[in-house]
Structure 1
């Protein structure tokens, strides 16, 4: 990838290798691009986020590993920033500065090498961010000449320095006139209550000293402390702590055509995959796997609905060649996707049509379905906790739901990770979770899991302030 490129990545437990012997940190930020507090800074002094979804570990040859379980990232976090900095010299001296993302199977998903670093001493190298119900990776490469302090202020981190007076001459934007001196404008301390604080532009921040930036951050921190308390958000369910593998990770494949056909996808990693089928037509739609003798297996799709669409699970043989028999009357598209890209069940209302593969990663919960069709509505569950073989799925057992006709159904779910597969659902439906509880797997209720005590922004910024 080159700077500015982006690509979808699986919503799974990914590993990011950051190379070149630099200091590495991760910032978990909201939609506004700001951390919610010191706990959202993951660095060598606090190498694990309290949620357990993001962790840092030192490797060999100057590599730092950032583990990001995207399925377990809290709903309030919109992006995970991969941040690097250097104690001595500039980042242009860091040869081979790069970020490479590996999937659960150890294969490279995306990679980005920084080739244009200059005098910066800190940089947002890359970010993992939410998009269209999944996650994407972006090659950012945004450097900061003013180091970690400037990067911190841009992302809502309070440097926690000693209060200092703002120097008299800091350029401050005052539209429509050009930037004016701070001496001609009210300082943060003189601003009337409720008035907006001064916010320098990025270019102006680059011209400020570290003392000026600290003082400005202190003023903003004081304003936040003086603001009326916001409504307390409901607790976010704790992500699943157990290790799991959910099929192979690979780049999605697409095939298109019209009417009846045999579809062959080669060079796929063996194991369970999602088959996404969309057909434009008013007649029967059927889909079957073919074995090496071209004998049909059990049907994957069996529908008479107009304009069929849905996702089902198929298994790629060891030789990596998946063959499917499709019966359709009209144009169609087939996509082969990793199971890790399954849509996630949350407490938000999910609307869709047709069979679907959903992923639940929280603790015990109730799943409420509203099915609006007149045919079969069948749901199977695959418990993935502790399942570490990416080439298989655990036994699904009996159908959790097997009904006919429009209905509302509430299904108690065990702890995740869990695949919730709507095997038959030839009509619109909605789904949402309620009464989601924290995970208890592998824990003693009287002895909660210990987490590293964060040292906060002061510890992270120590290199910039010494």
Structure 2
């Protein structure tokens, strides 16, 4: 059946498809908010040309929130305008060639989809603009549902409204795609994830367990350690759009005064155990803007030290509260590659990201821990900062702003500074964006609430 176009957004009926750009996209698996409605957990299933998963990692869900390629992520929840959704992110340019389809599925552990009002799948661009929307209107006794799928066709990507349900739950859905469900899974100790990932708070539906590839030894999905509480912004947008998580890539266009001058590159990943020196072999330009260094450490040790060879200052020299943290790194002013000296007693992983990977911060509240980098592109606002650390650590929030990439190499203003474990409870004023906000020192668990000022 044909798709129905209403303005810039395409409403799909069951079985219809629409072309989508080969670009980063966000997908909401949403429903109306109402008392007693069963919880719905979203997942993505990556399939090869034979229509099967290649292994445990090809199932992305609450308990396994990132595919090793970094192309598919589960990024948490959002709510607003009487709606609630779990969000997935797909970076279509990074989908591996062997993957031909990506299913968007939902599971319902404490009820059926016939009890879920207003079930839908919605695809948006990275900036929140809605691309297509599919309302599920025929759900009955199903406990798992494939709402839609992204698939390759003649070198391009399309999205199809599928609407196929399973009375046997997520286990029945998984079996259809070459997955074996184990009765008593033993959760494996995972490798460190190779790309940026966030883990939603431990609320909501129970994560899928006991899934293994049919032609491999039975076993459970490897559940990563808690990487970081997901930042969730809750602005109310125009229906049928809903609030989206803040954990998404910004775009150069979102940084108008200096975005065009940023150095762009594909994320680079380095991993190891114990002390090691790694070379970031990138042709950084002279007086380059900072880049983001994301660190992830194994479950045994929280402390990490990362230093640029030849410099006395550290990029990281602190605990990572949830085994995860992100810091700004200034490349050499003369340009060229960087050598990083890593010191850690256990396993570690570093991911170098362009500045466009800063987390957008908008109206609403976000929560997390440790060091983090945000980009604010809106109007002037009050920022309420709440943070606490039972271990007497420091907390520092800096603002970076200027007209050129070089201006971002040093803070323009120190907004909050607290030491010796003091509980932070402050409200600061931030100007019109674009600007960066960086939690530069922290073992704290923090909460930021942004409230835009009324327009004059």
**TM-score with structure 2 setting the length:** 0.44
Q: With CA pairs under 8 Å and 6+ residues apart, which has the higher RCO, 1 or 2?
A: 1
Of structures 1 and 2, the larger Rg is shown by 1
**TM-score with structure 1 setting the length:** 0.43
Point out the structure with the larger helix share.
1
Point out the structure with the larger strand share.
2
